[in-house]
Amino acid sequence: MSVVEKFKTMEYGPAPEDPKESLQWLDRHHRRFGHFIGGAWKVPVEGSYFETSDPSTGEKIADIAQGSAADIDAAVKAARKASPGWQKLSGHERGRYLYALARHVQKHARRLAVLETIDNGKPIRESRDIDIPLVARHFYYHAGWAQLWEEEFPGYKPCGVIGQIIPWNFPLLMLAWKIAPALATGNTVVLKPAEYTPLTALAFAEICTEIGLPPGVVNIVTGDDQTGEALVNHPDVIKIAFTGSTEVGRAIRRATANSHKRLSLELGGKSPFIIFEDADLDSAVEGLVDGIWFNQGQVCCAGSRLLVQESIAAKLTRKLQARMSTLRVGAPLDKAIDVGAIVARVQLDRIDRLVKQGVAEGATCWQPEVVMPSRGLYYKPTLLSNVHPTSIVAQQEIFGPALAAMTFRTPREAVELANNTVYGLAASVWSESVNVALHVAAQLKAGVVWVNSTNLFDAACGFGGYRESGYGREGGREGVLEYIEPEWFHKAPLIRAKAAVKVGKTEVANPAIDRTVKLFIGGKQVRPDSGYAVEVRSKKGELLGESPLGNRKDIRNAVEAARKAETWGKTTAHNRAQVLYYLAENLSQRGKEITGRLAAAVGKKEAADEVRLSIERLFAYAAWTDKYEGAVHNPPFRNIAIAMNEPVGTVGVICPASVPLLGFFSLVLPLLSAGNTVVAVPSESYPLIAGDLYQVFETSDLPAGAVNLVTGRTAELLKVLAEHDDLDAIWCYGDEQMCATAKALSVGNLKQVWTNEGRELDFFSRRQVAGRWYLEHAYQVKNVWVPYGE
């Protein structure tokens, strides 16, 4: 028998990992766990427990405390108590704790890996070689940010008590993604692990004690969705960081709308895995194994939609089926296993239901003849081909080991198909042509793109989604920003009802000018759909002019025009900067007349200041446009990750009622600088500013549709913008009620919402209303991983 033949027939024997140490740890806790609150184990207030079990055997592992609202309250109190002391520590002191956490995770790596595997069902090979090392890496990396706190984040403060809710697919890794940046930046946390997989979070709690972390800095409350809800609704929680399903993400957005809670959401995905005909097919097939059968496909960024160029589809399918036939499904503690158990019965049923529905919709289902375990929750690696792009299996997250395959002909069609979902978490592109791969990567709506690779993660590279995959990033500098805010922001006073509207100073600088302005849509002055206009008067009652009353239809037209103008984001930064400089020039030329008109509304001095500072702000953002650049990360693999700053897309802007000119420019300019297109609702109290603005725009090189102006009743237009499913984000400046409306109504397409939280910002202060903080919100980071070196 030749070596090749032997290799082909070689049978593996079982190679189980020894679980003894982990089982002893469970026994030391009598297989019954309370909550970890204020540095101690607490019996649940209502005394109820639920079971966590091993999905590969169905056997019970331990009893876990079911958290009630009272438990959450106790944990939040402990976190609040610990907060001042933790914040007072220097960055270096906090860094030492994070470093100790990293070291102790490494020390207990074996125990943690086994616990993860028996609780979740994932192969030990993955928990041992991927999950736990990445957990340690995350704490090391953030120990570094803590160390650099004073140097890198001057003027920022931590948010306070953070509520963190995590899913079951990467239990300890998701904990690390949440806890490490929060602690590094001086926050304290209450974390709720998923009900199916609480064990490693509890083991981590013990590590916190072991390293002497001050009590209350980390609190772990176990339980189900109701425990999660209690955490979301707790009034003293300042921010919620959530990873899980899009549906629950929506519910949390809704539940937190009426509060000042900050929110980051890492939600579902339906990530494309695109293979071009010139790809190295054998590598691509291995990539697919990692893309969709890693962790049984229970991965938010799983390459669950295979898009393969038609010319190689048959060949690829043959290779893929051959490889699928060699996948070993079985006991996850066996080191030679590729596919482990599905986390829970409901998840298994859900996968089965979706696959059957896909087949009913016309897909062809193929599964290899692999040996399946006789007990436990398993699902065969599955290939669904001939899938229609609108089929449920092409659109919905299956979250299981099932791949939905489609074909395409041209790169353009590949991009169209790839972007044809509501999600935008990740993508994988396979081509030996660097031009094709990067050209396609740039056009994909996804927070992470892997070129000739898949499912690579590193703490230095931000991870997070576009569109309904959520907002916010975890990892990288951008991930740190999720947990801090400028010191001045929380001190800014709340806008009191009406106080915002500063129209009509008693002294009118110039005689009132009677004029009628129009809406500005797609680069043209247009009459409002309603046909109505409102009179705009100074406080003294003089008629200043008439302003159109925009409605739903006008907003719809404006959004359409803004969408069409998205090439603005693709022009070079140099070009965008030139346009902004030119706007400054035009504004300066018209400065005197605009000041004169504006004075009638806001007084002579403020009008002059607004015009002067608007010109300065135009210069400032022109300056930033070709300087606010991305980064190149060097993750510990043979890759670089290019962190590209991309525009968020088309953004609705509700401008402040006061400060009509400078308020508009302060919000719209960072967006334009970043390459977004805008539909703005100018100041309700002085909407005539629109006329001055579009005259400046018309005589500039700003492309038609890049900025659209719809005046009218702000409350009404805000609703239309917030509900509009083709807007990517809304920036709303207003009182608390308006900010709550923007958040609550954004749930439809989960657009990004950025508000002033009802606070009065000082638009005349460069520190408050200019610069990086605004740009950070105007861009979203896309990490493109590119293989590098030999």
By CB under 6 A, name the one of 117, 147, 219, 243 that touches ligand NAI: 243
By CB under 6 A, name the one of 63, 206, 224, 413 that touches ligand NAI: 224
| Bridge partners, residue 732, by sequence | 654, 755
- Choosing from 266, 397, 757, 776, the catalytic residue is 266
Least distance from ligand NAI to the Cβ atom of residue 700, Å: 43
H helical segments located in 62-216: 69-88, 91-107, 109-120, 124-126, 132-147, 149-152, 171-184, 199-210
229 binds ligand NAI (CB under 6 A): yes
Per CB under 6 A, which region of 4-12, 188-196, 558-566, 662-670 contacts ligand NAI?
Answer: 188-196
Q: Give the footprint of ligand NAI on residues 443-462 (CB under 6 A).
A: none
Q: Give the footprint of ligand NAI on residues 319-348 (CB under 6 A).
A: 347
| Bridge partners, residue 242, by sequence | 165, 265
Per the CB < 8 A criterion, the answer to whether 347 and 298 are in contact is: yes
**Phi, psi angle pair for 485, to nearest 5°:** -150, 160
Q: What angle do CA 703, 689, 707 make, to 5 degrees?
A: 20
- Per DSSP bridges, beta strands 631-633 and 639-647 are antiparallel
By CB under 6 A, name the one of 245, 357, 525, 768 that touches ligand NAI: 245
By CB under 6 A, name the one of 55, 167, 447, 656 that touches ligand NAI: 167
Identify the CA nearest to 521 among candidates 673, 704, 248: 704
d(CA 712, CA 553): 12
397 binds ligand NAI (CB under 6 A): yes
- Per DSSP bridges, beta strands 218-220 and 188-192 are parallel
Least distance from ligand NAI to the Cβ atom of residue 488, Å: 31
- Which distant-in-sequence residues (6+ apart) come within 8 Å of 29 by Cβ? 62, 202
- For 5, the token pair is 């033949």
d(CA 599, CA 590): 14
Identify the CA nearest to 675 among candidates 728, 739, 754, 743: 728
d(CA 706, CA 629): 21
**Phi, psi angle pair for 519, to nearest 5°:** -80, 165
d(CA 695, CA 679): 17
350 binds ligand NAI (CB under 6 A): yes
357 binds ligand NAI (CB under 6 A): no
251 binds ligand NAI (CB under 6 A): yes
Q: Give the footprint of ligand NAI on residues 286-315 (CB under 6 A).
A: 300
245 or 443, CB closer to ligand NAI?
245
Per CB under 6 A, which region of 222-230, 536-544, 632-640, 758-766 contacts ligand NAI?
Answer: 222-230
- Between the CA atoms of 378, 382, 387 and 393, what dihedral angle is there, to the nearest 10 degrees? 20
243 or 708, CB closer to ligand NAI?
243
Least distance from ligand NAI to the Cβ atom of residue 166, Å: 6
Per the CB < 8 A criterion, the answer to whether 66 and 227 are in contact is: yes
Q: Is 412 helix (H, G, I), strand (E, B) or coil?
A: helix
- Choosing from 159, 208, 300, 655, the catalytic residue is 300
Within a 10 A sphere around the Cβ of 593, how many other Cβ atoms? 14
66 or 547, CB closer to ligand NAI?
66
267 or 584, CB closer to ligand NAI?
267
254 binds ligand NAI (CB under 6 A): no
Least distance from ligand NAI to the Cβ atom of residue 425, Å: 8
By CB under 6 A, name the one of 54, 116, 195, 609 that touches ligand NAI: 195
- What are the C-alpha distances in Å from 123 to residues 10, 297, 326, 336, 619? 21, 12, 16, 9, 56
578 binds ligand NAI (CB under 6 A): no
Per CB under 6 A, which region of 50-58, 243-251, 552-560, 769-777 contacts ligand NAI?
Answer: 243-251
265 or 611, CB closer to ligand NAI?
265
Side chain identity at residue 471, one-letter code: Y
Q: Which residue is nearest to ligand NAI (CB)?
A: 228
The yes-or-no answer on residue 150 being catalytic is no
Least distance from ligand NAI to the Cβ atom of residue 255, Å: 7
| Bridge partners, residue 654, by sequence | 681, 732
d(CA 76, CA 235): 9
By CB under 6 A, name the one of 36, 97, 399, 621 that touches ligand NAI: 399
17 or 474, CB closer to ligand NAI?
474
Within a 10 A sphere around the Cβ of 771, how many other Cβ atoms? 16
175 binds ligand NAI (CB under 6 A): no
370 binds ligand NAI (CB under 6 A): no
38 or 268, CB closer to ligand NAI?
268
Interaction mask 256-275, ligand NAI, x per CB under 6 A: -----------xx-------
Per the CB < 8 A criterion, the answer to whether 234 and 80 are in contact is: no
The yes-or-no answer on residue 300 being catalytic is yes
Per CB under 6 A, which region of 9-17, 191-199, 501-509, 607-615 contacts ligand NAI?
Answer: 191-199
Per the CB < 8 A criterion, the answer to whether 190 and 183 are in contact is: no
Per CB under 6 A, which region of 223-231, 432-440, 485-493, 651-659 contacts ligand NAI?
Answer: 223-231
Q: Which residues bind ligand NAI (CB under 6 A)?
A: 165-169, 192, 194-195, 224-225, 228-229, 232, 243-245, 248, 251-252, 267-268, 300, 347, 350, 397, 399
Active site residues: 266, 300
